[in-house]
Amino acid sequence: MIEEICALKREQGAVILAHNYQLGPIQEIADMVGDSLELSRAAAKLENEVILFCGVDFMAETAAILSPKKTVVLPERSAFCPMARMITSEQLREMKALYPEAAVVCYINTTAQIKAESDICCTSANGAQVVNSLQELQVIFVPDQNLADYFSRYTQKKIISWNGYCYVHDRFKPEDVIGSRKHHPHAEVLVHPECRPEVIDLADYVHSTSGMARHAKSSRTNEFIIGTEVGMLYRLRKDNPGKIFYPLSDKAVCENMKKVDLDKVLWALQTLEPRVWVPENIATKARQAIERMLVI
């Protein structure tokens, strides 16, 4: 099946991008595995006519917004990010009316409609930089409250947050960190900024998923407790064969990230379906928010 996928990929002039949370076999066949920032940068630059996005819907949408002439395919149509659906355009417009002086920053985990209503987009890797690049002193940040709390540690600006959250990261509790440290006293604890503030306070480092990959490679430590979705451990173990990685909780599974498998990738390459497409009136505005981020 892998041989067939590789041959079809060449035939279709396709590139396969995969998020760090994808299943092992998908990471193996991908041309690039990365975090949201790396994948959107790649989507903006790649020459390939077809982008096969192994991840969830907002990621493929971001690629489609940045490359409207390309064919963007999400192998599983129903793979979505629940957090991205926790705010509607109407709710964001109400928030903007309450704080007319504020700039609007949206996390990349949002629908194209929310991006179109925002001034600028950010990812977990660059949120503080994005917020600090703005002239406004007030910032509306949607939809992740934990991420807003985390970025507010690195800015003087007033951050007005929405109450969205990622159910995978929000489930980690301080007891998980305390318990894991007891079992693995020599391990460094790395957590994602989508975690609750009380979990972040107990961690050694806070990183986006690719930030974790870089940290694990360069650290002199040999053991790590990883506070993010369990798919991340596949990449960490592969990149660092001599090191040991423990999940902060083995229940940290994003069901939507696990919906893509090799069968679906093969079918998607054969049919170039399901195709992701964003209406041009929304895409034009959303593109401005994403491109503003990419400049920074």
Give the span between the Cα atoms of 98 and 90, in whole angstroms.
Answer: 13
Q: Which of the listed partners (ligand 13P, ligand SF4, none) does 256 bind, with a CB threshold of 5 to 8 Å by partner kind?
A: ligand SF4
Query: Considering just the CA atoms, what is the radius of gyration of the chain in Å?
Result: 19
- Lookup: tokens for 247: 């999940």
Determine if 161 is a binding residue for ligand 13P (CB under 6 A): no
Q: What share of the chain is helix, strand, coil (3-state, %, to 5)?
A: 45, 20, 35
Determine if 146 is a binding residue for ligand 13P (CB under 6 A): no
Which residue in the set 35, 61, 117, 144 belongs to the binding site for ligand 13P (CB under 6 A)? Answer: 35
Rounded to a whole number of angstroms, the minimum distance from the CB of residue 100 to ligand 13P is 30
List of residues contacting ligand SF4 (CB under 6 A):
56, 81-83, 109, 166-168, 229, 254, 256-257
Binders of ligand 13P among 70-99, rule CB under 6 A?
Answer: 81
Give the span between the Cα atoms of 97 and 133, in whole angstroms.
Answer: 23
Binding mask 251-280 for ligand 13P (x = CB under 6 A): ------------------------------
Q: Which of the listed partners (ligand 13P, ligand SF4, none) does 20 bind, with a CB threshold of 5 to 8 Å by partner kind?
A: ligand 13P
Determine if 209 is a binding residue for ligand 13P (CB under 6 A): yes
Give the span between the Cα atoms of 8 and 42, in whole angstroms.
Answer: 21
Neighbour order of strands in the sheet with 71-73: 32-34, 14-19, 50-54, 71-73, 275-276
124 vs 152, beta carbon nearer ligand 13P: 124
Determine if 62 is a binding residue for ligand 13P (CB under 6 A): no
Binders of ligand 13P among 172-201, rule CB under 6 A?
Answer: 192, 194
Give the span between the Cα atoms of 296 and 292, in whole angstroms.
Answer: 7
Q: How many residues bind ligand 13P (CB under 6 A)?
A: 14
Say whether 278 sits in a helix, a strand or coil: coil
Binders of ligand 13P among 4-23, rule CB under 6 A?
Answer: 20
- Lookup: tokens for 185: 């006293």
Q: Which of the listed partners (ligand SF4, ligand 13P, none) does 82 bind, with a CB threshold of 5 to 8 Å by partner kind?
A: ligand SF4
Determine if 208 is a binding residue for ligand 13P (CB under 6 A): yes
Give the span between the Cα atoms of 240 and 226, in whole angstroms.
Answer: 14
12 vs 123, beta carbon nearer ligand 13P: 123
Q: Which DSSP state fits 256?
A: G
Give the span between the Cα atoms of 132 and 151, in whole angstroms.
Answer: 10
- The phi, psi pair for 102, rounded to 5°, reads -80, 145
Can you give the binding site for ligand 13P, defined by CB under 6 A?
A: 20, 35-37, 81, 109, 123-125, 166, 192, 194, 208-209
